[in-house]
Amino acid sequence: MAYVYQVYPKKRRSIFDSLSLNTLLIILNVVLFIIFTILVKFNFISWDFIAIKPANILEGKYIWTFLTSMFMHAGFFHLFVNMLSLFFAGSLIEKIIGRKRYIWFYLFSGIFASLFFVVMSLFFSSDFNAYAVGASGALFGLIGLLMLLTPNLPVYVMFIPIPIKMKYAAPGMLILLWAISLAGNISIGNTAHLGGLIAGLIYGLFLRSKYKNKIKYIQKRFS
Catalytic residue among 69, 109, 121, 136: 136
Strand-pair partners of 132? 52
Distance separating alpha carbons of residues 212 and 197, to the nearest angstrom: 21
121 is catalytic: no
Residue whose C-alpha is closest to residue 221's, from 164, 146, 157: 146
91 is catalytic: no
Strand-pair partners of 154? 165
* Phi, psi (rounded to 5 degrees) for 132: -130, 125
Distance separating alpha carbons of residues 170 and 218, to the nearest angstrom: 18
| Other beta carbons less than 10 A from residue 43's beta carbon | 7
**DSSP secondary structure string for all residues of 166-220:** HHHHHHHHHHHHHHHHHHHT----HHHHHHHHHHHHHHHHHHHHHSHHHHHHHHH
Catalytic residue among 69, 114, 121, 193: 193
Residue whose C-alpha is closest to residue 137's, from 170, 115, 116, 113: 113
Distance separating alpha carbons of residues 69 and 78, to the nearest angstrom: 13
Residues annotated as catalytic are: 136, 193
